[in-house]
């Protein structure tokens, strides 16, 4: 079995080589599938990650969820503490700035932390997933530590392109799997 670092490099190459048109089309399909799930329909407050260039695009999902009357939280990264704090946003265009690791998060004036207990659904990023929901992150452990704080019944959904679904991922005791995976 390949190491986590070997898998990360391999998946990054696949993601970077995917055309923008394919990324947009698949992101749109994933959004449609997500918005049809019972977990999404029931959720009042949804935690999304803010996508980077080669990931499943969550920006349209965030905007559509807000238009549909959902509360949307995104990660505010506290780099020194190596942790994620969920923060509500209302206007992604104006509320977000480039944060640690080049990932957009709320700027200080838009930072509105909310308790985990208010989050009904978490959309989880990953470089790779298995069909069973095991997840390979970027390697810093932010999401594993964050997801550990949620009650078992909180739905977690990974979203990925088909090129990100692999047969096996080395699994450590601290790795947290997602409960559902949506792929296109």
Binding-site members for substrate are: 50, 55
150 Cβ neighbours under 8 A, 6+ residues apart: 116, 119, 122, 156
Is the Cβ–Cβ distance between 96 and 107 less than 8 Å?
A: yes
Nearest residue to 102 (alpha-carbon basis) of 118, 69, 79, 122: 79
- The CA–CA distances, whole Å, from 156 to 41, 79, 102, 151 equal 14, 23, 24, 11
* Binding region for ATP: 4-8, 135-143
Q: Which tokens hold the place of 121?
A: 């659904």
Known binding residues are: 4-8, 50, 55, 135-143
Residue pair 142/124 in contact (Cβ under 8 Å)? The answer is no
| DSSP secondary structure, 157-179, as one string | EEEE-GGGB-S-----TT----S
Using CB atoms within 10 A of its CB, is residue 11 exposed (0-12), middle (13-18) or buried (19+)? buried
């Amino acid at each position: 079995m390949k190491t986590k670092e070997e898998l990360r490099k391999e998946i990054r190459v696949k993601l970077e080589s995917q055309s923008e048109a394919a990324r947009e089309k698949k992101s749109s399909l994933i959004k449609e599938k997500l918005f049809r799930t019972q977990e999404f329909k029931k959720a009042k407050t949804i935690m999304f990650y803010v996508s980077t260039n080669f990931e499943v695009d969550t920006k349209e999902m965030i905007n559509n969820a807000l238009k549909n009357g959902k509360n949307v939280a995104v990660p505010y990264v506290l780099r020194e503490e190596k942790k994620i704090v969920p923060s509500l946003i209302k206007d992604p265009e104006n509320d977000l700035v480039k944060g640690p690791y080049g990932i957009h998060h709320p700027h200080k004036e838009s930072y509105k932390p909310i308790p985990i207990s208010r989050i009904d659904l978490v959309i989880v990023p990953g470089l790779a997933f298995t069909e069973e929901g095991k997840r390979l992150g970027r390697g810093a452990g932010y999401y594993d530590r964050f997801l550990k704080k949620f009650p078992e019944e909180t739905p977690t959904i990974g979203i990925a392109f088909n090129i990100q679904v692999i047969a096996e991922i080395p699994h450590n005791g601290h790795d947290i799997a997602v409960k559902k995976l949506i792929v296109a």
